[in-house]
């Protein structure tokens, strides 16, 4: 008996008009994995439409869909105004439990790295909760390395946030950049 075919994974960039789809996946992630995010479900649920639209207009957010249903999302955020102009942050990464270990996370990270390349960014930075081994392994497969920097978790004193970075690796000809697949962040890895 043959295995069923893998479902089709599509990743698309969201804009302000997609606020309803983003709100649904964001509220789902905050219920499913509250320790992985700084915002609480209650805080996000209280946002009005204008706030959701504004968030999608001020950062680059991607939605993953599997067989037409929302399966995850990620945002590339430019960071604080006083931060380095060639650096951005991978934030709010989430893959729904039913879509994990199916390449969805890699596709979302790849979308962020492609955008970082398009912008000519030198590095993409993220923080991952110390208890989230699966996410840390995904980021390592995608070429991120731990910086050694940690910050306390905002609600759980026994946890901390671990900083990771992916640096642009240009050769003498100016490429490859962030998305050089090499052994990292390959589908099925």
State how many domains the chain has.
1
- Is residue 3 domain-resident? no
Distance, CA of 72 to CA of 104 (rounded, Å): 7
- Is residue 189 domain-resident? no
- Is residue 173 domain-resident? no
What is the span of the domain harbouring residue 43? 9-167
Q: Which two tokens stand for residue 54?
A: 């504004």
- Is residue 185 domain-resident? no
Of 3-12, 26-35, 39-48, 78-87, least confident by mean pLDDT is: 3-12
* Average pLDDT of span 7-25: 95
pTM of the model: 0.87
- Is residue 177 domain-resident? no
CATH number for the domain that contains residue 74: 3.40.630.30
Per-residue model confidence as pLDDT tens digits over 90-106: 999 999 999 999 999 99
- Is residue 20 domain-resident? yes
| Continuous H helices in the chain | 19-32, 41-45, 49-58, 104-119, 133-141
Q: Which two tokens stand for residue 65?
A: 């869909």
Tell me the CA distances in angstroms from 50 to 55, 56, 119, 181, one per residue in order: 9, 10, 27, 38
Is residue 131 scored above 50 in pLDDT?
yes
- Is residue 19 domain-resident? yes
């Amino acid at each position: 008996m043959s295995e069923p075919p893998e479902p089709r994974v599509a990743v698309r960039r969201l804009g302000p008009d997609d606020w309803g789809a983003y709100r649904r996946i964001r509220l789902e992630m905050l219920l499913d994995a509250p320790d992985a995010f700084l915002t609480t479900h209650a805080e996000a649920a209280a946002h009005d439409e204008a706030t959701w639209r504004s968030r999608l207009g001020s950062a680059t957010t991607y939605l993953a869909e599997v067989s037409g249903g929302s399966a995850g999302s990620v945002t590339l955020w430019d960071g604080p105004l006083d931060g380095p102009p060639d650096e951005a942050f991978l934030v709010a990464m989430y893959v729904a439990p039913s879509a994990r270990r199916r390449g969805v996370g890699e596709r979302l990270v790849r979308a962020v790295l492609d955008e970082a390349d398009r912008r000519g960014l030198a590095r993409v930075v993220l923080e991952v909760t110390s208890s989230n081994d699966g996410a840390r392994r995904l980021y390592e497969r995608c070429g991120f390395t731990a910086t050694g920097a940690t910050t306390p978790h905002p609600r759980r004193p026994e946890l901390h946030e671990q900083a990771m970075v992916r640096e642009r690796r240009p050769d003498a000809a100016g490429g490859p950049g962030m998305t050089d697949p090499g052994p990292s962040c390959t589908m099925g890895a």
